[in-house]
Amino acid sequence: LNGKRQPTIIDVARLSGVSKTTVARVLSGVGAVHSETRRRVEEAVRDSGYERNHLAFGLRTGRSRTLGLVIPDLSNPYWADLARGAQDKAEAEKRSLLIFSSDWDTERERRHLQALRQARVDGILINPAVTDDVTLLRQTEAPVVVLGSSGEVFPEFSSARSDVAQGVRLALDHLIGLGHRHVGLIVGRDRLGRSRFVAEARAHWQRQGLDAALLPTEEAKYTVDSGQAATTRLFGREGPRVTAIFAANDLMAVGAILAARAAGLACPNDISIMGMDGVEAGSFTDPGLTTVDKPRYDIGVEATRLLLEAIDGTGETVHAVLPCRLVERSSVAAPPSAALRSARPSALGSVRKKSA
Amino acid sequence: LNGKRQPTIIDVARLSGVSKTTVARVLSGVGAVHSETRRRVEEAVRDSGYERNHLAFGLRTGRSRTLGLVIPDLSNPYWADLARGAQDKAEAEKRSLLIFSSDWDTERERRHLQALRQARVDGILINPAVTDDVTLLRQTEAPVVVLGSSGEVFPEFSSARSDVAQGVRLALDHLIGLGHRHVGLIVGRDRLGRSRFVAEARAHWQRQGLDAALLPTEEAKYTVDSGQAATTRLFGREGPRVTAIFAANDLMAVGAILAARAAGLACPNDISIMGMDGVEAGSFTDPGLTTVDKPRYDIGVEATRLLLEAIDGTGETVHAVLPCRLVERSSVAAPPSAALRSARPSALGSVRKKSA
DNA sequence: ATGAAAGCGCTAACAG
DNA sequence: CTGTTAGCGCTTTCAT
């Protein structure tokens, strides 16, 4: 727009009557420079409006001071929160962040990784859509930090994730403590096969001396609609109805609330519903969704911290596991027949509809 | 990790026994190359795993093939959706996107703009936190496209926004058509002063021959909590109660639903509530939020398209205005006394509370 | 304390 | 059709 091109280090040198080496020295702050010279150079920098060219800097030093972030979907609040954390940390460390969405598509992910390699980013944060193909990540020169539970599939890279096992315990113990003995699970189907969510839930359920048969499971796709459908399927099963539903993410839990309402069930009086995520939208439902909050933002921050450590060569490969937190709102209560049941633990029978 | 550095164009040249110029030619596809030579070069590229260095490319050509996006908050679903659109379009055009959140902070925005200048991005998409300081945008060499209604404050730059006037008409006509004659407005307070939302609403209201006094207005800050508080203030006003509330964004409308519930009002039987945004979370409330959907994703796409045009030098400065769309869910219905009112159009008086 | 020179990897004249 | 040469803007030896 302005017509004249951006000033370079040479323009500054000319303006202040020194060599570009000297300018570079005051700019970088390394090496001794006469105070009067420094003053003149700084003045010239201001007057000319000089801004360091990061392309040239990166080419010369081999550090672009740019990081890459590859997530499934930027418009999904879970990933948006995480991205925000990564961006804030990168910014605090004077790095810029290149962000890509893969939509769980291997081919798109491959292209993004290529773009990042071409941009010569100093490091990559990624939630891999592809699990089988480790070579895709290995062939990348830059250090990689894996986001989420797939970190365990790539032990060679550092990773940051929430403590799903602990979160599941938190949720189940909350439910069990209230008297629930028959809980439906809505789990997401990962490209990693069955998510670890189910495994942890079953393990803890049995650890508490409860029957795995009373933990019926339906699969959904992490969306409201699929969660609603899965809940409806759950209700359609034969035998006594569950007194609570525990979904692997908040969107599916919202779907469960919708499905319960459609089935004429009052939540939490007739049925308790619990989510896992902690995204803000969970507080919009009626009743507000009780959930296990995952530290999304902090995972983004921590992953970035680990990545910068890996770039600096300091620090070993570490797998950061951040704790979850119970967020009580109002979609969970004692089951309708809690008093009865706690008296006779084996009486898991009929669920009576209570008038709201 | 791998030990050996990334191969350069020279490695490829050596490997295929030609000069680096020839390699560059087959890589860029411009200029004639013997088919056999081309084959050998392509083979060498594959074998070596060569990837073009965008830093060097950008330094030489003056095109970094990177764009910058500066928005208030990446974890706000409105901006996340827009960012997604921008990223998808950038990706389709073989560009990478550097994303920053400003949190409506002028100082942060200034730093982001500086980072983008240093990265020598080819162009910038921005929703300016700062309005008074046009120079901040002017001093940037790269083309700029402004996001949102502040586009009108910067006529010199292309812009993309939703058609707020049309959206407001859509909403008000919907409400008026149903029989509402006393509508409360919850508006957001911009750093741009009063948002254009109020102006448009009042104008259209009067255009329909209605009394501006029956359009009481409260200010909030685009959040659920502030929307809830504003609604409560609205309810606390003297005189007859509004039969409907129209909020300038969906989060505040969600707050209004919460406030109505807290006040013991049934929505939509006692009071209708309408939002403006269309974010997914609006469908989580009970009742589902009726709203005016803004084309968030498309704004991101369109803005990026305009930016690329500006970069190529083709195309004039254009202000793209994308239409909104009415999304009917269930938070809006006829007012309690609609039958009465439509019979006597001038009787805009008392609102009788109807038992739900 | 300062400067000269080399070179990061690439493209773009300009020759042949 | 192919190669030689000269930078893009910066940092980094190595002299002085």
Angle between helices A9-16 and A20-28 (to 10 degrees): 110
CA nearest to A48 within chain B: B139
Q: Which helix (H) or strand (E) is A293 found in, with range? A: strand A290-293
Q: What is the structure's pLDDT at A125?
A: 97
CB < 8 Å from A in window 159-198 of B: none
Max mean pLDDT among A221-225, B101-105, B194-198, B299-303 falls in B299-303
In this prediction the pTM is 0.90
pLDDT tens digit string along B242-293? 999 999 999 999 999 999 999 999 999 999 999 999 988 899 998 999 999 9
Cα gap A279→A251, rounded to integer Å: 9
Cβ contacts of residue B164 below 8 Å, gap of 6+?
A: B149, B196, B197, B200, B324
| Portion of chain B with pLDDT greater than 70, in percent | 91
pLDDT at B29: 85
- Name the more confident of B335 and A130: B335
DSSP 8-state class, residue A281: G
* Residue A179 near residue A338, CB atoms below 8 Å: yes
3-class SS shares of chain A: helix, strand, coil, % to 5: 45, 15, 40
Does the structure show a pLDDT above 60 at B340? no
Q: What is the pLDDT of residue B342?
A: 45
DSSP β-bridge partners for residue A146: A126, A159
Contact B77, B254 (CB under 8 A): no
Residues 6 or more apart whose Cβ sits within 8 Å of residue B38: B26
Q: How far is A102 from chain B (nearest CA, A)?
A: 10
Residues 38-97, chain B, touching A (beta carbon < 8 A): 49, 51-56, 58-59, 64, 66, 73-75, 77, 80-81, 83-84, 87-88, 91, 96-97
pLDDT confidence bin for B102, thresholds 50/70/90: very high
- Beta strand B325-327 with A123-126 is unpaired
> Using the 8-state DSSP alphabet, how is residue A75 labeled?
T
**Burial letters A81-109, b for 16+ CB under 10 A, else e:** bbbbbbbbbbbeeebbbbbbbbebebebb
B206's tokens? 């009067």
The closest CB to that of A285, out of B2, B84, B285, belongs to B285
User: Does the structure show a pLDDT above 70 at A351?
Assistant: no
Res. A345 pLDDT band, cuts 50 70 90: very low
- Nearest Cα of chain B lies from the Cα of A254 at a distance, in angstroms, of 7
Contacts with A280 from chain B: Cβ below 8 Å: 224, 281
What's the token pair of residue B33? Answer: 């190359």
| A162, containing H or E segment | strand A158-162
Give the integer Cα–Cα distance in Å for B332 and B327: 11
Is it the case that residue A343 has pLDDT exceeding 80? no
Give the model's pLDDT for residue B193.
53
Residue B355's pLDDT is: 38
Let me know: does B51 contact A118? Beta carbons within 8 Å: yes
Residues of chain B in contact with residue A283, where contact means CB-CB under 8 angstroms, are 224
Closest CA to A67 of A139, A121, A128, A147: A121
Q: How far apart are CA B98 and CA B306, in angstroms?
A: 17
Percent helix / strand / coil, chain B, rounded to 5: 45, 15, 40
pLDDT digits (tens, 9 = 90+) for B72-90: 999 999 999 999 999 999 9
Q: Where is A1: in which H helix or E strand?
A: none
Radius of gyration of chain B (CA): 27
Distance in angstroms (rounded) separating the CA atoms of residues A90 and A56: 21
The structure tokens 């996006």 sit at B69
Chain A contact set for B143 (CB, 8 A): 1
B262 CB contact with strand D at below 7 Å: no
- Smallest Cα distance from A240 to chain B, Å: 28
Tell the residue number behind the tokens 């764009």, with chain if given. Answer: B67
Distance A67 CA to C5 C1' (A): 33
- pLDDT tens digits, one per residue of A216-266: 999 998 889 999 999 999 999 988 889 999 999 999 999 999 999 999 999
Q: How long is the CA B31 to C1' D12 vector, in angstroms? A: 36
CB spacing of B83 vs A100 below 8 angstroms:
no
| CA–centroid distance for B311 within its chain | 21
Residue keyed to tokens 């990042």? A116
Q: Give B54's contacts in chain A (Cβ within 8 Å).
A: 118-120
Three-state secondary-structure class, residue A65? coil
Interface test with A, best of B69, B70, B74, B114 (most A CBs within 10 A): B74
**Whole-number pLDDT of residue A248:** 94
Protein-contacted bases of chain C (C-beta within 7 A):
1-5, 7-13
Structure tokens at B34: 């013997």
In tens, the pLDDT along B104-140 reads 898 999 999 999 999 999 999 999 986 666 777 887 8
Distance of CA B67 to the CA centre of its chain: 17
Cβ neighbours of residue B308 closer than 8 Å, sequence gap 6 or more: B93, B95, B123
Which DSSP string corresponds to B216-275? Answer: -EEEE-SSHHHHHHHHHHHHHSSSSPPSEEEESSHHHHHHHHHHHHHTT--TTTT-EEEE
B243, B180 contact by CB (below 8 A): yes
B60 touches strand D (CB under 7 A): yes
Q: Is the CB of residue A266 less than 8 Å from the CB of residue A354? A: yes
Which pLDDT value is given to residue B1?
37
Confidence (pLDDT) at B338 = 52
Determine how many CB atoms are found less than 10 A away from the CB of residue B121: 29
Interface of B with A in 254-283 (CB under 8 A): 254, 261, 280-283
pLDDT at B350: 40
Closest chain A C-alpha to B214 CA, distance in angstroms: 29
The 10s digit of each residue's pLDDT in A71-85 is 999 999 999 999 999
Distance CA B341, CA B336 (A): 10
CA-CA distances (angstroms) from residue A79 to A73, A82, B78, B200, B349? 6, 5, 14, 35, 49
Angle at A204 between CA A203 and CA A207, to 5 degrees: 90
Instruction: Indicate if the pLDDT at residue B343 is higher than 60.
Output: no
Average pLDDT over residues A190-214: 85
Contact state of A120 with B53 under an 8 Å Cβ cutoff:
yes
Q: Which of B80, B115, B254 sits opposite A284 (nearest CB)?
A: B254
**How high is the pLDDT of residue A344?**
41
A-B C-beta contacts closer than 8 Å: 149
Give the pLDDT confidence score for residue A352 in this predicted structure: 39
- Say which amino acid occupies B115: A
What does pLDDT average to over chain A?
Answer: 89
Q: Which residue has the tokens 């190359």?
A: B33
- Is A248 in contact with A269 (CB distance < 8 Å)? no
pLDDT at position A355 over 60: no
- Contact by Cβ (8 Å): A266, A336: no
Alpha-carbon gap, residue B80 to B84, rounded angstroms: 6
Q: Which helix (H) or strand (E) holds A111?
A: helix A106-118
The closest CB to that of B284, out of A51, A84, A284, belongs to A284
| CA dist., res. B104 & res. A30, Å (int) | 35
Token digits for B223?
């959040």
**Nearest chain A CA: its distance from B171 CA (Å):** 22
Cα(B87)–Cα(B304) distance, rounded to whole angstroms?
8
Task: Note the Cα B139 to chain centre separation in Å.
Answer: 24
Q: Which residue is nearest to nucleotide C8 (CA to C1')?
A: A60
Residue A87: which of B74, B81, B116 has the nearest Cβ? B74
* Residue B315 Cβ < 7 Å to strand D: no
- Residue B162 near residue B320, CB atoms below 8 Å: no
Could you tell me which of B126, B172, B164 has the C-alpha nearest to residue B146? B126
The helix (run of H) or strand (run of E) holding residue B350 is none
Q: Is the pLDDT of residue B194 over 70?
A: no
Please choose, from the candidates B123, B117, B146, the residue with its C-alpha nearest in 3D space to the C-alpha of residue B134: B146
Task: Give the pLDDT of residue A196.
Answer: 82
Say yes or no for a CB contact (<8 Å) between B97 and A99.
yes
Confidence grade of residue A313 (pLDDT, cut at 50, 70, 90):
confident
Q: Which of B3-17, B178-192, B313-327, B339-353 has the lowest mean pLDDT?
A: B339-353
